Amino acid sequence: MLSKDNSPVLVVLQMTGGNDYLNSVIPYNDPMYYDYRPTVGIAQEDVLPLDDQVGFHPEMASLKNIFDAGDMAVIHGVGYENSPRSHFRSMDIWHTCEPDTLGTEGWLGKVVREIDPSKENVVTAVSMGPSMFRALSLPGVPVACIPDLDNYGLMTNVSSYEQRERILERYKRLYGPAVGTGPVMDFLGQTGIDALAGSDILKLAPQKYHSSVEYADNTISQKLRSVAQIHLAGLGTRVFYLDHGSFDSHSNQVGMHDKLLTSMSRAIQDFFEDLRAHNAADNVIMLVFSEFGRRTYDNGSGTDHGAAGATFVIGDAVTGGQYSEYPSIKPEDLQQGDPVPNIDFRGVYSTIIEDWLGIDPIPIVGGTFEKPAVFN
Amino acid sequence: MRQDSNGALIAHLMRRAGFGARRDELEEHSTKGYEKIVEELLDPEPDGGVDIHDLYRYQPWAWKPGTVYGMGHTPWVYRMLNTNAPLQEKMTVFWHGIFATGVSKVDHYDEITDMVDMFREKGLGKFREIVLGVAKNPAMIYWLDNNENHPDRVNENWGRELLELFTMGVSNYTEDDVRECSRAFTGWSFAPKLPRFPIARFDWEFEFRPNDHDYTDKSFLGHTGNLDGDEIIDIILEQPATAIFIARHLYNFFVADEAQVPAWSVTSPADRAAIEDITTVLYKSDYDLTATLRFVFNSDFFKEALYAKVKSPVDVFIGTLRFVGGSEFPGPGIGNLSRQVGYMGQELLNPPSVEGWHTGAEWVNSGSIMSRTNFFTDMISDTSRPGVEEICNLLQERGSLSPEELVDGCLDMLGPLNVSKETRDELVEHAASGGPVVWGQNGERDIMVERLTEMLQLIVALRDYQFA
């Protein structure tokens, strides 16, 4: 177990919209792949081979470097039975681990409750974006939702610094216990003070930060830069959540998918380089997932909703390599035109919860699932 | 004109039966009398005077947004911002909260919007029509798997939630009733969903499939026979538990925050007498919502419940935008603006589950309090918005203001809002630090307006302002 200052940190990067597995980790030696994909198929010579069967999309060169350095686990065929092929439903399943009923409690909400049961730190969980992801949602678990770290906080629209300080000073007094008149008022008071405390803590992060790594000027890079800033400020944040997309490439996939992969791969590489340069990488891993993969054959322009996908786990602590099996794409093995998942996503979560965060995964994911051993 | 207690009461009615009212609306209302306003609210014109095509003309994507994420509720937001029949929209929100159906599973905004449109049309009518409309709504059928409910393989999802979450509440029926109820709804399905690609999405339609219906006898809550769904609904409405359940929902939504719905079977209402009275009116009027709401709004328990509810995100978002004005036009940005209500914790057409949203204090957490506070303070300090400009002008008409007069004037304009002595003292101290407000020309006026909007910002950030 790591010491407290060096407690394990999890960054979750959600590829929203359904990332095309077959064009991210490409079975380039299988002629069927090219039969299925006359429009969006990636030419064999452009693939970045991981072995003699599969390889990365050419725009994933930065991730290929990480893979080659042994810091990236590629987990094949991740999903669950009977993919509904609905973005909303499938995302819900990934977020709540409830494939059969409609769940409301997020798996990471439960993780955060285990990490910080007495809510000592209001920034244990940080969500990069204006609204909270359902994965983090659990009544009573505070989550800081940050659309923009540089302008995060209460009443940031107040342009004059003096005026804002004056208002916030008064706000603190008005939300203090002396003015409370009942349980709901007390609750609101505490919540307001928590929010202010969270923003006071977090606003220090960019001020403390210096780095020679130059992130690209796009959303995913800037979000990961903010994650790096918060992590490097040592605020005790243990779970970060962010998304990238949309990967919903029904049409014009060539170009669109390339761009998403380029920006994501570069952002991830820069992020880990930044952490390493600050000697703060060894306690951070990143989980990269999407709610489903896409259809085996293309539709003349893009690909439709599918089932099995690839999940990546990245970090110095990760034992790099390929895990699970690449699902068969033989016509007789497809279900509704899609490769069938052969490892349950809840097993991937279980590995991270148990072997990285040191928490019992069974009550969180709702059972026991095969765990890919990416931390051995 | 300062608001007297009658004005405060009318403002209360408009916050609850609508989305609040601007000062000019309140003054117009105060000449009519409270009961007359209640009658106007209960007798809306269809669609509240909104022509939804105005929105589609400027924002064509808002017509049938299908699966485009985060766009589905823009037409509804547009209606709420522009309606002249706020109670009609408020009831639509009420029913959506009970018959909670979401794109998280339905994967298609248009179908749920059809249900919301039905609530708008029938929401102030008879409950029976509403339940029946929901039972035949394709989004609900898909949401609760009634299309998978067959005589030989009964799926109880819809049958159970109909009893547990939509009408009677848990502990008022047996597991056998759930099963028999579900059997009665076999064959209530929708026209087949075509593959979305490459054909694109087709609207669904209710379809009764006689071959998939169970015609054998069922025994449900003491009635036996070849019952179908219509008859099940009739039997449900005969149950006093149903009237009590809807009475508690109405009380929680319109009067005062109550325990969350799942706790109702073990938690008594805070005001038993009020619930009994609402129950009686519901039952005797054959579940007529107009008659029942007329009773509620004219009752003492309603009139005494000022600021007894935490504002929902819809209250915050729509109430604020209607108050400050300037967002009525379906211009660019209405889609992004509409998403704010989701950031505050109430993503319309995507409730967290079939249980709907938890209400009251549960609307607030450290994330949502920041979203709502920032939204309030952004809007109330924007002097380009007509509602804010009007407040500045009205206060300027009062001439020079002492710190007390500034605070009381702002509290009056924003409610009227009553705050504790300690809170008022803090606000007065804040106002006093800048000295009295003396309106001068140009430059001086700008400084006074800035002081005024600073006070408005402080007040909308108050805990007290989180209540409706």
State pLDDT tens for residues A159-200. Answer: 788 899 899 999 999 998 766 678 888 888 888 988 888 888
First CA to last CA across chain A, in angstroms? Answer: 14
Of the candidates B198, B352, B358, the beta carbon closest to that of A299 is on B198
Comparing CA positions, the residue from A207, A68, A193, A191 lying closest to residue A140 is: A191
Alpha-carbon distances, residue B241 vs B27, B171, B245, B283 (angstroms): 41, 10, 6, 10
- How many Å separate Cα B152 from the centre of its chain? 40
Cβ contact (<8 Å) for B374 and A155?
Answer: yes
Given a contact cutoff of 8 angstroms between Cβ atoms, the answer to whether B69 and B114 are in contact is no
Residue A295: the pLDDT is 94
Q: How confident is the model over B186-197, as a mean pLDDT?
A: 77
Please indicate if any CB of chain A lies within 8 Å of the CB of B366: yes
What residue spans of A27-129 are helical by DSSP H? Answer: 31-36, 61-68, 87-96, 107-115
Least confident of A241-250, B90-99, B301-310: A241-250
Name chain A contacts of B380, Cβ cutoff 8 Å.
Answer: none
Chain B positions touching A144 (Cβ under 8 A) are 366-367
Per DSSP (E only), the strands in chain A are: 9-16, 25-26, 48-49, 55-56, 72-79, 125-128, 144-146, 239-245, 284-290, 309-314, 321-323, 343-344
Quote the minimal CA–CA distance from A339 to chain B in Å. Answer: 18
Distance between CA atoms of A353 and A313, rounded to whole angstroms? 13
In this complex, is the C-beta atom of B149 within 8 Å of any C-beta atom belonging to chain A? no
Indicate yes or no: CB of B362 within 8 angstroms of CB of A194: no
What is the pairing mode between strands A144-146 and A25-26? unpaired
Is the pLDDT score of B210 beyond 50? yes
Q: In angstroms, how far is CA A345 from the centroid of its own chain?
A: 14
Question: A144 with A129: CB under 8 angstroms?
Answer: no
- Overall average pLDDT of the B105-124 stretch: 93
Give the distance between the most distant pair of CA atoms in chain B. 84
Q: What is the mean pLDDT of residues B81-90?
A: 98
How is residue B138 written in tokens?
A: 């394709």
Inter-chain contact B463–A174, Cβ cutoff 8 Å? Answer: yes
Do the Cβ atoms of A144 and B362 come within 8 Å? no
Contact partners, residue B97, CB within 8 Å, separation at least 6: B253, B351, B356, B357, B359
B residues 71-130 closer than 8 Å to A (CB):
102-107
Chain A contact for B418 (CB, 8 A cutoff): no
Q: What is the pLDDT of residue A246?
A: 85
Task: Check CB contact under 8 Å for B347 and A131.
Answer: yes
pTM: 0.82
Say yes or no to pLDDT of B1 above 80: no
A144 in contact with B, Cβ within 8 Å: yes
d(CA A128, CA A136): 12
Q: What is the pLDDT of residue A40?
A: 96
Do A102 and B462 count as a contact with CB atoms less than 8 A apart? Answer: no
Choose among A16, A201, A218: nearest CA to A126.
Answer: A201
Q: Which of A341-350, B189-198, B204-213, B302-311 has the lowest mean pLDDT?
A: B189-198
SS3 state at A145: strand
Q: Tell me, what's the pLDDT at A83?
A: 84
Contacts of A60-63 with C-beta under 8 Å, sequence gap 24+, read A60/A24, A60/A261, A60/A265, A61/A265, A62/A265, A62/A266, A62/A268, A62/A269, A63/A265, A63/A268, A63/A269, A63/A312, A63/A314
Distance from CA of B44 to the nearest CA of A (A): 35
pLDDT score for B194: 63
Instruction: For A59-105, write each residue's pLDDT tens digit.
Output: 999 999 999 999 999 999 999 998 888 777 888 899 999 988 777 79
Eight-state DSSP code of residue B401: B
Taking CA atoms, B151 is separated from A249, A277, B161, B188, in Å, by 40, 65, 19, 11
Closest CA to A137 of B367, B68, B338: B367
> Which of A157, A166, A243, A301 should we substitute to test contact with B (largest number of B Cβ atoms within 10 Å)?
A157
- B450 CB-contact burial (10 Å; exposed 0-12 / middle 13-18 / buried 19+): middle
Main-chain phi, psi angles of A122, to 5 degrees: -75, -5
A5 contacts: CB under 8 Å, gap ≥ 6 = A234
Where would I find the beta strands (DSSP E) of A180-320? 239-245, 284-290, 309-314
Give the closest of B361, B378, B450 to A157, CB-based. B378
Higher pLDDT, B133 or A157: B133
Token pair, residue B136, equals 């035949």
Mutation pick from B71, B104, B381 vs chain A, by most beta carbons of A within 10 Å, is B104
3-state secondary structure of B87: helix
Instruction: Decide the pairing of beta strands A309-314 and A284-290.
Output: antiparallel
Kindly list the residues from chain B whose CB atom is less than 8 angstroms away from the CB atom of residue A247.
none
Q: What is the pLDDT of residue B23?
A: 87
- Give how far A232 is from chain B: nearest CA, Å: 22
Residue A17's closest chain B neighbor by CA? Answer: B69
Whether A115 and A124 have beta carbons less than 8 Å apart is answered as yes
Chain A interface includes B461 (CB < 8 A): yes
Q: How far is B297 from chain A (nearest CA, A)?
A: 25
How confident is residue B197, by pLDDT bands cut at 50, 70 and 90? low
Residue A314 phi/psi, 5° resolution? -125, 140
Range with the largest mean pLDDT of A26-30, A147-151, B28-32: A26-30
Q: How far apart are CA A308 and CA A356, in angstroms?
A: 24
- Count CA atoms closer than 13 A to B384's CA, side-chain side: 3
Residue B228 has pLDDT above 70, yes or no: yes
Give the pLDDT of residue B195: 58
Amino acid at B64: K
Rounded to a whole number of angstroms, the distance from the CA of A279 to the nearest CA of chain B is 31
Cβ atoms of A122 and A198 within 8 Å: the answer is yes
A&B contacts, CB < 8 Å: 135
Question: Does the pLDDT value for residue A2 go beyond 50?
Answer: no
Does the pLDDT of residue B212 top 90, yes or no?
Answer: yes
Which CATH class name applies to A9-365? alpha beta
Domain layout of chain A by residue ranges: 9-365
pLDDT higher than threshold 60 for residue A1: no
The Cα of B167 is separated from the nearest Cα of chain A by a number of Å equal to: 20
Window 236-265 of B: residues touching A by CB (8 A cutoff) are: 257
Contacts of B461 in chain A (CB under 8 A): 154-155, 167, 171, 174
Say yes or no to pLDDT of A326 above 90.
yes
Residues 6+ apart with CB under 8 A from B287: B126, B127, B128, B237, B243, B246
**What is the total residue count of chain B?**
468
Contacting residues of A for B310, CB less than 8 Å apart: 184, 188
**pLDDT reading at A126 higher than 60:** yes
Neighbours of A269 (CB within 10 A): 19
Q: Report, as an integer, the average pLDDT of A10-37.
A: 97
The reply to whether residue B342 touches residue A155, judged by beta carbons under 8 angstroms, is no
On the question of pLDDT at B198 being above 70, the answer is: no
How far apart are alpha carbons A58 and A261 in whole angstroms?
9
Q: Is the confidence at residue B4, as pLDDT, over 80?
A: no
Average pLDDT over residues B28-47: 94
Give per-residue burial for B425-446: e unless 16+ CB within 10 Å, then b: ebbbebbeebeebebeeeeeee
The beta strands (E) that lie in B170-307 are given as 188-190, 206-208, 218-220, 223-225
Radius of gyration for the alpha carbons in chain A, expressed in angstroms and rounded? 22
Chain B residues inside the 8 Å CB shell of A179 = 420, 422-423, 426, 463
Torsion from C-alpha of B423, B432, B8, B378, nearest 10 degrees: -80
Sign of torsion over alpha carbons B243, B244, B249, B251: positive
Q: What is the pLDDT of residue A266?
A: 98
Of A134, A188, A195, the CB nearest to B370: A195
Mutating which of A39, A151, A168, A188 best tests the B interface, going by the most B Cβ atoms within 10 A? A188
Lowest mean pLDDT among A43-57, A174-188, A333-347, B420-434: A174-188
| Chain segment A102-124, per-residue pLDDT in tens | 777 999 999 999 999 998 898 99
pLDDT in tens, B235-276: 999 999 999 999 999 999 999 999 888 788 888 999 999 999
